[in-house]
Amino acid sequence: MTRRGLLQGMLAAGLWSALTGRGGAAQPQVKDMKGIEALQKSWKALLADGYKAPSPGEPLKLSKDEWKKRLAPMAYGVLRDEGTERAGTSPLNDEKREGVYVCAGCDLPVFTSAMKYESGTGWPSFFTTIPGVFDTKKDYGLFLPRTEYHCKRCGGHHGHVFDDGPPPTGQRWCNNGVALKFIPKTGKA
């Protein structure tokens, strides 16, 4: 291959990964913690026009029966019973559009598309969150203690946060897809 042909091939490969979201584009594009702060401050830019986002300071408390009525059985099992969905089952694993991920229990925005990355685990994964939306607790269910996190507004369980995520945060927020709803920025589901 000529030098020119090689360059063209590389350009085409870059374009392909940009178009399909494969390769480098699936990893965080944020270089440092200043970039993370900017991402956290500007999250509303990815919110669909007209979406009425509740705030973590307006708690949603329902009885067990009310939750059962409000949620599909899978979502109930995760959010209210700390269950874990089977890896690779969530359509949100492949969601690459711009938008905001909200709690499936109470509609509180918790992540944006700009905070998502491909962890290869089979669960939607994020390297940071919208600030102040989760509380954490230590979980001793397995041999090693893990850090469980749940929605500040409705108390719903979402997943576990690990310290093997990509730089600069090093965080991997491993979320059950069924605990999230995706709101595309275009407003069209």
* Residue 92 or 103 with smaller CB distance to Zn ion: 103
Judged by CB under 5 A, the number of residues near Zn ion is 8
The first and second tokens of residue 31, run together, are: 């270089």
CB atoms within 10 A of CB 120: 8
For position 106 contacting Zn ion by CB under 5 A, the verdict is: yes
Burial class (CB in 10 A: 0-12, 13-18, 19+), 122: middle
Q: Give residue for tokens 């307006």.
A: 58
Judged on CB neighbours under 10 Å (0-12, 13-18, 19+), 141 is exposed
Is-catalytic flag, 174? yes
Tell me the window of 38-46, 50-58, 86-94, 156-164 that interacts with Zn ion (CB under 5 A): 156-164
Which token pair is 184?
Answer: 């595309």
Q: Does 151 bind Zn ion (CB under 5 A)?
A: yes
Does the footprint of Zn ion cover residue 114 (CB under 5 A)? no
Stretch that binds Zn ion, among 21-29, 44-52, 64-72, 144-152 (CB under 5 A): 144-152
Identified binder of Zn ion from the candidate list 116, 153, 158, 160, rule CB under 5 A:
153
Q: Using CB under 5 A, which of the segments 14-22, 45-53, 140-148, 154-162 binds Zn ion?
A: 154-162
How far apart CA 55 and CA 58 sit, in angstroms, is 6
Q: Give me the least distance between CB of 113 and Zn ion, in Å please.
A: 19
CA 90 – CA 178 distance, rounded (Å)? 7
Question: What is d(CA 104, CA 100) in angstroms, rounded to the nearest whole number?
Answer: 12
The binder of Zn ion chosen from 28, 56, 105, 159 (CB under 5 A): 105
User: In the beta sheet, which residues pair with residue 55?
Assistant: none
Task: Assess 156 for contact with Zn ion (CB under 5 A).
Answer: yes
Q: Given the rule CB under 5 A, which residues bind Zn ion? A: 103, 105-106, 108, 151, 153-154, 156
Residues annotated as part of the active site: 174
